[in-house]
Amino acid sequence: MHLSENEGIEGKRFVVTGGFGFVGSALCLELMRRGAEEVRTLDSRNSSPWSADLRQKGVRCILGDVRQRKDVEKALKGVDCVFHLASYGMSSKEMLQSSLVDEVNLNGTCNVLDVCHEFGIKRLVYVSTYNVVFGGKEIINGNESLPYYSIDEHVDPYGRSKSIAEQLVLKSNGRPSKKRSVNLYTCAISPAAIYGPGEERHFPRIISIAKMGLVFFRVGDSSVKTDWVYVDNLVLALILASMGLLDDIPGRKGSPIAAGQAYFISDGSPVNTYDFIIVPLLKSLEYDVPKLVSMSVIHYYCLDFFWLISMLIYPWLKHQWFLVLSSFRLKSSRCFILRILLPWLMSSCSASLKSSGDFFFELCDFIYWVTTQPHGPVA
């Protein structure tokens, strides 16, 4: 089967839910570059770092919420293919809002599926996550044959909701339309950790902490590796997935090659997060690179405890009583406390610590929160 690079794109209409995000905006621009007749975004935000560029390039930006069926209907009416990227609850304080996580990731996905079914849309590409098969235990040379991680054993609502949503999407493959004699074909793309220009989840936190002089340790050793994917590679995978759902390809009419399939997407070479991401970033900014220090399991759980506490009290940060208590110049004091606390927590070693990359970013969340919260009026 040979397809042109713009197969199923030229002259077609597309919707990208969550199109104001890092990946969604890159996908929108690539669809426009390849000759799409119309590209729409459905996003609950009025603007983002990429929204001005999207509008300038002719992308139709629709303000709406995937939790609201009428918003989904408005965005999807008359389109040929949907890329469903909108999600919530991947990290930080969002993880604690379990009801909102379910509303966006489950109810939102159900709305997208139902509207595709009602309008006779033929292609739906769903962006999922590695967490549908990963629950903290090491996976070596894993592939798409891995079973779903048990729903009851997921430690966070994000992984659980994304797993359920992915299974709903794949089970909807081949579903006939209500009004047209066509079928809906679906597939799921599960990307690795994503990096590239404009990345907004990991890099800004690392840089902020480095500026405060708080990056003076590393966790784990170089044998701990994980998958990453460059944003352009992920966008290409999404486009290829949409082509794989075409049902009019000679030799495969009525039987799209990607229909009902789930795919893991990465750069194809697992790397150590510290060596691949953190060290080059710090060196490029001329910050000191921390030397290897070891950490015991007890210290790991201590830091996880602090991270949990920071997330639990976040909703009360803007309450008046907290502003009164915070009416002193505490920022420098908190940085000083961290400079004393963290070296002690990092003082001993355990080879059993495996999730170095995930833990580092959790710790970044905690430090960033502690040192950047508003402190109320200064007397």
pLDDT in tens, 169-221: 999 999 998 877 899 999 999 999 999 998 887 788 778 777 777 666 666 67
355: tokens are 């999730």
- pLDDT tens string 208-256: 777 777 666 666 677 788 899 999 999 999 999 999 999 887 777 778 9
pTM: predicted TM-score of the whole model, two decimal places: 0.80
d(CA 190, CA 266): 9
From-to residues of CATH 3.40.50.720 in the chain: 13-192+227-260
Q: How confident is the model at residue 377 (pLDDT cuts 50, 70, 90)?
A: very low
DSSP letter (8 states) at residue 106: I
C-alpha 140/C-alpha 233 separation (Å) is: 22
- In this prediction, residue 310 carries a pLDDT of 60
For the record, the structure tokens of 318 come out as 């803007």
Say if CB 282 and CB 215 are below 8 A apart: yes
Question: 255: exposed, middle or buried (C-beta count within 10 Å: 0-12, 13-18, 19+)?
Answer: exposed
What confidence tier does 330 reach under pLDDT thresholds 50, 70, 90? very low
**CATH number for the 13-192+227-260 domain, one of 3.40.50.620, 3.10.129.10, 3.40.50.720, 3.10.530.10?**
3.40.50.720
Could you report the per-residue pLDDT of 42-65, keeping only the tens digit for each?
A: 999 999 999 999 999 999 999 999
Distance CA 88, CA 100 (A): 8
**Percent of the chain whose predicted confidence (pLDDT) is above 90:** 50
Selection from 366, 373, 355 nearest residue 309 by Cα: 366
Lowest mean pLDDT among 77-81, 218-222, 242-246, 311-315: 311-315
Cα–Cα distance for residue pair 233/315, rounded to 1 Å: 37
Q: Which residues are catalytic?
A: 158
pLDDT higher than threshold 90 for residue 349:
no
